[in-house]
Amino acid sequence: MIPRALDRGTIVFLALLGAVAIAVPLLNLALPDSSPLHVPTYLVSLFGKYVCFALLALSIDLIWGYCGILSLGHGAFFALGGYAMGMYLMRQIGGRGVYGNPLLPDFMVFLNWKELPLAWWGFSSFPYAMLMVLAVPGLLALVFGWFAFRSRVTGVYFSIITQAMTFALLLAFFRNDFGFGGNNGLTDFKDILGFNVQADGTRAALFATSCLALMLGYVVCRILVASKFGMVLIAIRDAEARARFLGYRVESYKLAVFTISACMAGVAGALYVPQVGIINPGEFSPANSIEAVIWVAVGGRGTLAGAVIGAVLVNYAKTTFTSGALAPYWLFLLGGLFVGVTLWLPRGIVGTIAHWRAGRRITATEDAPDPSGAAVATKPQAAE
């Protein structure tokens, strides 16, 4: 199963990611600022953010491209993973905060909280925090998915309730009495694993770690979709009623892949937070989840690599256009991009290229000469 998943295209894609994971930190740390090849630290963080978004897009492509589950709420899992990491980073501040309280974060001191809430216990430990990065989004997806798939909620109805879930979490995390910083969120991070989060070396290490996480996520997705499990997912996507008639427990397959996808999104959020330096309820915005779906559509649904490429290209365009004269019109450009892809590139960038190459191979096969020396007929001859 693993050799079949790691085909030539996968190996090339992983090699490129590995090269980027090594090259960017080296060009940042090893070259002086005066060198034309030097990568500034702010670009390292920006590229790291793109990689985290690519991992989020990959998690969406796994369920949408291969199982037909269109989630408009994956930003919630991304944000929950980010909050788990943010809580760990806040606990590492200790007495170096504005109020000098060694136990309570500054916003709790400001709000006259007297003791650390139960939800914050254990977040001074990095292993516990990493467990929560996976467990919190995974558990939410497991419970939410169990009720949704058991009730056979599909299609646009499932998309709507995932968006409703995200909006509910947005409103909940805006409340100060929830103990997650209210509308300001969590910020002013100092250290991660004892290293200064603002240091060039730490940012380079976070970028490399994000690339490794993306590579691992890509391999996991490839193994899943190349296995029997993946074949069943595709059958559910194309003909759910037939898959159920053949005896497959469709709800169990959907629940499993939905939970795995949520955990991947949580990891993406956890890597995102220390690189941008803040996590607030705005990350739960339904618009963020919709935008992530657009990344997948642009790159190519059901291609995995396309989701990664789409996330990077769209976010690069966003960075470019939101800092110039076109900034007020960015959302219109994004919407136009999605409409254009839907109309003229329904398979996305990578999907369209793959379809074109497959068509050329078929044409070449039809036109290939017969071993006996005669050309192969491309059309059936009429009966005499």
Residue-level length of the chain: 384
pLDDT band at residue 383 under the 50/70/90 scheme: very low
Q: How many structural domains are present in the chain?
A: 1
Q: Is residue 56 part of a domain?
A: yes
Residue 153 predicted with pLDDT over 70: yes
Q: Is residue 90 part of a domain?
A: yes
Provide the β-strand partners of residue 186: 279
> pLDDT tens, 321-344?
887 787 888 888 878 877 888 788
> pLDDT tens, 287-315?
999 999 999 999 999 999 999 999 999 99
Q: Is residue 73 part of a domain?
A: yes
Residue 34 predicted with pLDDT over 50: yes
Q: Is residue 379 part of a domain?
A: no
Q: Please give the residue that has the higher pLDDT: either 362 or 150.
A: 150
Distance (Å, whole) CA 344 – CA 297: 12
Residue 380 predicted with pLDDT over 50: no
Radius of gyration of the chain (CA): 23
pLDDT band at residue 92 under the 50/70/90 scheme: very high
Q: Is residue 378 part of a domain?
A: no
> pLDDT tens, 189-221?
999 999 999 999 999 999 999 999 999 999 999
Nearest partner of 357 among 230, 365, 67, 218, judged by Cα: 365
Report the pLDDT value the prediction gives residue 361, as an integer from 0 to 100.
74
Residue 384 predicted with pLDDT over 60: no
Q: Is residue 384 part of a domain?
A: no
> What dihedral angle (degrees, nearest 10) is formed by the CA atoms of 196, 197, 201, 206?
140
Query: Which range marks the domain in which residue 151 is found?
Result: 2-361
Considering the chain, what percentage of its residues have pLDDT values greater than 90? 75
Report the pLDDT value the prediction gives residue 136, as an integer from 0 to 100.
97
Q: Is residue 280 part of a domain?
A: yes
Q: Is residue 369 part of a domain?
A: no
Residue 263 structure tokens: 């955990």
